[in-house]
Every structure is written in C-alpha cells, then in structure tokens.
Structure 1
C-alpha cells in the first residue's frame, strides 16, 4: 500500500526534506517501509524540480499507527503548525490538530475500498 505525504506552503520543499530526514531516523520506518522523496516536473522557465511529496510503501494497515506517530512527532518539533496531507488512494486526510486515531481510521478504510 502506498501512502503519499504532502506539505503545502511557502517552505514546503524545506519542510518535506526535514520530514523525510526525520522519518529516515525512525527505525520502524526505515527498516520496514520504502520511503522516497518525489519531485514534480519543473515548470516552464524553472531551473530545477520542486519537491512534491514523500511516498511511503507499507505492507499492512498495522503499520499506519507508526507512520502517523512519526509524522506527529516531527510536527511537534516545528515552531509553527505545519499542515500535512496524507493520501491513500482517493482518501485524503489533512493533519493539523487532527486526532491521530481518526487519520489512521480514514487511511485504513481507504484500503477496504480498493
């Protein structure tokens, strides 16, 4: 199952890099999941590609709590609240002050819809 993680805002590239580095330091993430930074195609006149998202490939919904816990751990280190969108198939959940259990439940339901 693939989970996409997006961050919106002016400093989205830096924030995605920071979150990616954070997740790489989480043993449950780097040992059991495939983690990639994905760039979007550069627009006309741009020198390079901007980062678009982080892709996590997990084998089971049982890993979702670990993913959400790691993301929330990173969010707690930020000076300002960072809005993160976690996507699984057609389901998109925005994490702001959201209950981690609600995010896990929504992403778990997405797997049942496939």
Structure 2
C-alpha cells in the first residue's frame, strides 16, 4: 500500500515527521518513507518538498502508524494539520482525540482491506 502524507506548513515539518517515523520501530519495520516534491507551478523555481510518501509492506499496522503520527504531532509547537491520502481516501488529523485516532485507524484499515480484496 502506498500513502501520501501532507503536513502544513510544509517541508521542515515533513522532514521532522520522516525522522520521527524512521525512529519508530513498528513503522520502520513495515514502511519505507521518502520525501517527494510536486510539479512546480508557473513562476516557481524547482520543486518543493511537500509530500512524505510511505510504501507499506508485511507487518503494516494502521494503528501503530496513526499513533506515531499523533505522538509526533503532539511534539510540535504549532500542532500542524496532517493529511493522509490513499487513492480517493483522504484522512485529516487535526486533534488527538480518541475518536479521531479511531476514525483514522478504521479508514486506513478499510483501504488496506480493499487493496487485499477482502
């Protein structure tokens, strides 16, 4: 499964998140992370790093991933908005409520089940 994570305000926060995820043993064991840029808009010079791409494999745990995202977000002074995309599915994390954690985990698990044809 391939996921894209967008963080506002941008590249610095994405680098921080990538480092956090790489240091989490559960996420590191089951996902590869890569910072990517988008196609520059008219008048922009080069590409901006604005997407953290995760490619997951065996042992992937949506719950571990969401908990790692929430833990990272709590360390940030501005508590950035985090958006997770998988195809047409978009999950936005804005707080650390138990309901939001559960909703995000269920949505990622549903996408994973669809990918497996379950």
Scaled by the length of structure 2, the TM-score of the pair is 0.82
Q: Which of 36, 61, 82 matches 1:38?
A: 36
Pairing of 1:4-23 with structure 2 (within 5 A): 4-8=4-8, 11-23=9-21
Question: What stretches of structure 1 move > 6 A for 4+ residues in a row?
Answer: none
65, 72, 78: which is aligned to 1:80? 78
Per-residue CA deviation, residues 79-107 of structure 1 (Å, 9 max, x unaligned), is 12210011122110100115211101012
- Distance change >3 Å, CA 87–CA 60, structure 1 → 2: farther
The reply on whether 1:68 has 2:69 as its aligned counterpart is no
Q: Structure 1 length normalisation: TM-score? A: 0.84
Q: Which runs of 5 or more residues in structure 2 are unaligned?
A: none
Partner Cα distance (2:43, 2:114) in 1: 40
For 1:101, the equivalent position in structure 2 comes to 102
Which range is displaced more, 67-76 or 20-29?
Answer: 20-29
In structure 1, stretches of 5+ residues that fail to align are none
